């Protein structure tokens, strides 16, 4: 079983930046894709970004492409989400998740989730 702990959320003004981190333990982190999802109040959880096991391939939702960057450090068992040019509509709880395969295979291909970190963007 894998344990995931997100950090780095907070309150930021529109146009600002935040960097989320997700530390993983209890599983061979480097063998699996990782992803970030978010859930805004009253909405379903949605895919944000994913990264393949070695970091060579990244995938983004259209709403964040060009503003967010996912990366990973397998030596530290950590995945990151750098968020720039934040907008009020980016306000949500952000979750990291472990993929079921080495590469991203779609939003349904994740099996373990963290507890989430709140990101609030004020206008």
* pLDDT score for 40: 97
Average pLDDT, the chain: 95
Q: Report whether pLDDT(27) > 90.
A: no
- Res. 26: pLDDT tops 90: no
How many whole angstroms separate alpha carbon 16 and alpha carbon 106? 29
Strands (E) in the chain, as ranges, are 3-7, 10-13, 18-25, 34-39, 46-51, 58-60, 68-73, 78-83, 92-99, 110-113, 117-122
Is 90 exceeded by the pLDDT of residue 4?
Answer: yes
Q: Is the pLDDT of residue 33 over 90?
A: yes
């Amino acid at each position: 079983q894998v344990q995931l702990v997100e950090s780095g959320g907070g309150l930021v003004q529109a146009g600002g930046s935040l960097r989320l981190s997700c530390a993983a333990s209890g599983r061979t982190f480097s063998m699996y894709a990782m992803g970030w999802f978010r859930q805004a109040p009253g909405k379903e959880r949605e895919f944000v970004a994913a990264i393949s096991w070695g970091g060579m391939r990244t995938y983004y939702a259209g709403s964040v492409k060009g503003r967010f960057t996912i990366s990973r450090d397998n030596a530290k068992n950590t995945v990151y989400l750098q968020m720039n040019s934040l907008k009020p509509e980016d306000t949500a709880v952000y979750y990291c998740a472990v993929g079921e395969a080495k590469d991203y295979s779609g939003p349904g291909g994740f099996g373990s989730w963290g507890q989430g970190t709140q990101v609030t963007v004020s206008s």
